[in-house]
Amino acid sequence: MKENTRKILLFLYPTERSSPDTPDEKILLNFQQIRFLLPDLSLTGLQSLLFYLEKRELLIKHFLNNEAHYSLTNYGQEQLERQFPALSIARRNWQGRWTMILFLEAIKTDQNFRYLRGFLLKNGCLALNRGVFLYPGQLSEYILVELNSRYRQAVLVYELGECIVGDEQITIGQKIAINDSLKVYSGISKELNQLIDIIGSRKKLNNQQKVDFYSIYNRFISFLAEDSGITEHYFPQVEGALIILSKLQKLLKI
């Protein structure tokens, strides 16, 4: 997924729900709001991109008071969650249970295993040790199909219970650099709060504030792409990806 596509789709990702039992409410943006997100893209370039995203069924167009608005399709949301696992409902509701994938052969002696290692890391697995990978929750259908079709006799997959010896939070925290996640999200959230407070009742971003907005959003996207989405399980008091995204959306509505 290219950068401009990610910027548009991510901003349309639903971050609020009217009640715990209802689906997340859709975000609607008009053409000018989307154009604000991509200041370096030409008018015709943005029109072409939106047409392409509609054709790919990632976006859907609505007309409200004769004005075009765009929202994320269910398929678009699924694709976005593959790009950014921290956003997915499954990761948000994760209860701390792991699935373990154990390689039965040495990685370095088999080209297929080197491919598998890259595949697992790309799809949200954590390399715990040589030939040992963890995945938060149940394996996705996408990963299971790959393992069953190409590695059925070469790996073992276990669903794990609770850790009874050792400190899971320290071990996992070191592997995914939880402290770094806390610092990055805390810093971005603080910057957003300051920006929202500065704008106050004016409800308008000046040129410098626009520069600040783009800087924050770019850093957020870069970090979100690397975020495993499990930091909030260990530190529920921390403002995570979804809350930060909702603050960014609030700024655009200002």
Q: Are the beta carbons of 60 and 73 closer than 8 angstroms?
A: yes
- Neighbouring residues of 121: CB distance < 8 A, sequence distance ≥ 6: 127
193 has pLDDT over 50: yes
Instruction: Compute how many other C-beta atoms are within 10 angstroms of the C-beta atom of residue 47.
Output: 13
Question: pLDDT digits over 205-243, tens only?
Answer: 888 999 999 999 999 999 898 888 888 788 878 788 999
* Cβ-contact 92, 242 below 8 angstroms: yes
Task: Please give the Cα distance from 149 to 177 (Å, whole number).
Answer: 33
User: Residue 133 — very low, low, confident or very high, per pLDDT cuts 50/70/90?
Assistant: very high
CA nearest neighbour of 231 among 136, 139, 109: 136
CA distance 15 to 218: 18
Per-residue pLDDT tens digits for 15-25: 865 344 444 57
pLDDT digits (tens, 9 = 90+) for 59-110: 999 998 889 999 999 999 999 998 898 888 888 888 888 999 998 876 555 6
pTM listed for this prediction: 0.80
Q: What are the pLDDT digits (tens) for 153-185?
A: 889 999 988 888 888 878 887 777 677 778 888
